[in-house]
Amino acid sequence: MKNILTACLCVLLAVTALAQKPNKLTGKEKKQGWILLFDGKTTNGWHTYLRDTVGSKWQVKEGTIIYDPSQPRSGGGDIVTNQEFENFDFRLEWKVAKASNSGIIFNIQEKKEPGFNATYSSGIEMQVLDNIDAADKNPETHLAGSMYDMFGGAAVSKPKPVGEWNHARILQNKGRITFWLNDVMTADVQVGSDEWNAVLAKSKFSKGFPNFAKVLKGKIALQEHPGSSAWRNIKIQPL
């Protein structure tokens, strides 16, 4: 009996390990329509904003996409998905080095026109940050998990210590946008509502960003910013 129990336990552990393997969809997720946006080996499906390929600062190492600031400056820039998405449930894991700053930006309109020079010219950002040592940690709407410069705060920004993986989720459905960081809701708002308009009017995006959040469909970006960041388990379920 002891040998049977031991064998069963080994099988259970093996199955659990397989189910938890990074950058893989489970059978259930596939049936639900989830799409893997990073295969764990290449940057296929991504390109640097306003370019055709991915710059050298973005590399794939040990099943993660790494932003390496030590690489030549010419290899930088945010990377964006080749595809556009509208209503979706988007999830990934991220971690940063000490004092690092980054972001997840979505609804990006990629155009080689004035007013679209950066991903954040049109897209909304979920902040990725070392809350302790990064320079851009004030005001509170700049903390990890916040809707950058708009919604969030210290009470709900609970990132893991530097070097540990964080779970981020962005849900967008018919203009309703909700953020979670490590299963804690950090923002929830209807675009175009009185609440949205009031906060937008006080944010940095009220002046000089005429194309910000005008279209609730677009590409998704991982942001180049000071420091180093790592990303994995990037997946989306179109709604």
In a domain, 4, yes or no: no
pLDDT, tens digit (0-9, with 9 covering 90-100), for 163-185: 999 999 999 999 999 999 999 99
Q: What distance in Å separates the CA atoms of residue 138 and residue 164, rounded to the nearest whole number?
A: 22
The pLDDT value given to residue 193: 98
Q: How confident is the model at residue 20 (pLDDT cuts 50, 70, 90)?
A: low
What DSSP character marks residue 211?
Answer: T
Count of domains forming the chain = 1
pLDDT, tens digit (0-9, with 9 covering 90-100), for 56-86: 999 999 999 999 999 998 999 999 999 999 9
CB-based contacts of 119, cutoff 8 Å, min separation 6: 49, 78, 80, 105, 108, 221, 223
Q: Among candidates 162, 161, 142, 163, which has minimal Cα distance to 153?
A: 142
In a domain, 1, yes or no: no
User: Region 1-21: what's the mean pLDDT?
Assistant: 47
In a domain, 158, yes or no: yes
Q: What distance in Å separates the CA atoms of residue 232 and residue 228, rounded to the nearest whole number?
A: 14
In a domain, 226, yes or no: yes
CB 46 within 8 A of CB 59: no
In a domain, 146, yes or no: yes
In a domain, 194, yes or no: yes
**For residue 50, is pLDDT > 70?**
yes
User: Region 146-167: what's the mean pLDDT?
Assistant: 98
The pLDDT value given to residue 9: 44
Mean pLDDT of the residues in the chain: 93
CB 68 within 8 A of CB 202: no
Tokens representing residue 228 in the block:
């180093």
Tokens representing residue 231 in the block:
């990303």
In a domain, 11, yes or no: no
Q: Which residues pair with 124 in a beta bridge?
A: 106
In a domain, 8, yes or no: no
What are the two backbone dihedrals, phi and then psi, of residue 199, each rounded to the nearest 5 degrees?
Answer: -70, -40
The pLDDT value given to residue 21: 86
Q: What distance in Å separates the CA atoms of residue 110 and residue 117, rounded to the nearest whole number?
A: 9
Q: What is the CATH number of the domain that holds 109?
A: 2.60.120.560
Question: Which residue type occupies 104?
Answer: I
Tokens representing residue 225 in the block:
């910013």
Domain that holds residue 210: 26-238
Q: How confident is the model at residue 161 (pLDDT cuts 50, 70, 90)?
A: very high
CB-based contacts of 2, cutoff 8 Å, min separation 6: none
